[in-house]
Structure 1
Amino acid sequence: MGKKAVYAEQELVVLLKNNNRTGFDYLYENYSAPLYGIVLKIVKSEDNAADVLQDTFLKIWKNIGTYQPEKGTLFTWILNVARNTAIDKLRGEVKLERMVKLQAVPEHELNSKLAFYPAAANFDIKQLVDNLLPERRTLIDLVYFQGYTHEEASEYLSLPLGTVKSRVRKALQDLRGVFALREMSLYAN
């Protein structure tokens, strides 16, 4: 039996950035099992987890040039690639489910009380968000307009996760209050 090669992280990164097949084989052999376990916890389906794992390694192959060792370990980077790929998979499924549900309701079955009032749609959401306190505005922008998770926003802004969640919750409460006032004024006329 031959002795299996063992690479230090720096050596492995060099191999990967040079698109070396041996480096990618080593990466897959040593990292696929823990990544699969994490992905499975997110997508909750073995078939989807296998697909996400394959997509993850494809993304790693294509984007290894963007990995910066000074920002974190290789494992942390590939873990984030796997996690984000799994979350993207879930978001795609949720969008598809919503589209199917919306298309499955015949028009004659719609409740007229659920009618859409265009006046409420004329709210300039961005303008309302711009009126929030700066620390709340920044978080709403990151989480709702740019798609960051609370954890990613926390890391990006170097704030504790609890602070991020509290500020987002307070900002949403502020926006609900503004919407309630504007709706009352629209329908009062």
Structure 2
Amino acid sequence: MKNRDQKAFSYLYDNYSKALFGIVFGIIKNYEETEDLIQNTFIKIWNNFENYDCDKARLYTWMINIARNVAIDHLRSKKNKNQNQNISNNGKEINRIFTEDLSSETIGLKEVVDKLKNEDLQLIDLAYYRGFTQLEISEKLAIPLGTVKTKMRKALLVLRDQLKEKTEEK
């Protein structure tokens, strides 16, 4: 990818587009808009690949963050244009659409996330699948912002440890 190899890019797209589609669709809730945003996501990946640092994050994690940020930026721009966006839990629909041919990495991530405590799962769901900011989570759950930040950090550390264990098992 750093050498601008089209085959490498095609490989990334073929192997990760469905998983990233699921992430973006979980935030946007609109199939057509999600298709456009996936295109934007892969353009950003292509244009910014020189910024990827394998010491900071796995490639898949880096790409998830780009996809998530593209979706959240899109929501915020729509919100600023006074268009209401219904952000509701549509996980069953996402699972139905993407049960075929999910990468083993995505399936493993779902298994790990499902092992979280309910309160941690709720925070991760709001932040990463629905696109809420920590301030919005604080307001929605009526808990202090500092508490949200602390619980999010702990939940992410638990996820990191569980992913590390799962990777070591393979």
TM score, norm. by length of structure 2: 0.51
Q: Which residue of 2 aligns with 1:38?
A: 23
2:69 pairs, out of 69, 78, 84, with: 84
Q: Residue deviations 1:126-166, cap 9 Å, x none? A: xxxxxxxxxxxxxxxxxxxxxx9439xxxxxxxxx973447
In the alignment, structure 2 segments of 5+ residues that lack a partner are 84-131, 136-144, 151-170
2:134 pairs, out of 150, 154, 163, with: 150
How far apart are 1:97 and its partner, in Å?
Answer: 1.5
**1:75 partnered with 2:54:** no
- Pairing 1:21-170 to 2, within 5 Å after superposition: 21-97=6-82, 149-150=133-134, 163-165=147-149
Q: Which secondary structure state, in structure 2, belongs to the residue aligned with residue 69 of structure 1?
A: coil
Divergent runs of 4+, >6 A: none
TM score, norm. by length of structure 1: 0.46
> Highest CA radius of gyration, 1 or 2?
1
2:5 pairs, out of 13, 20, 29, with: 20
Q: Residue deviations 1:18-69, cap 9 Å, x none? A: 1100000000000000000110000000011001100000000000000000
Aligned residue pairs: how many?
A: 94
State the distance in 2 between where 1:162 and 1:38 align. 26
**Identity level (%):** 46
Q: Which secondary structure state, in structure 2, belongs to the residue aligned with residue 68 of structure 1?
A: coil
State the distance in 1 between where 2:146 and 2:37 align. 29
1:82 alignment partner AA: A
In the alignment, structure 1 segments of 5+ residues that lack a partner are 1-15, 99-147, 152-160, 167-189
2:147 alignment partner AA: T
- Pairing 1:162-181 to 2, within 5 Å after superposition: 163-165=147-149
State the distance in 2 between where 1:29 and 1:42 align. 22
- Write 1 or 2 for the structure with the bigger share of helix: 1
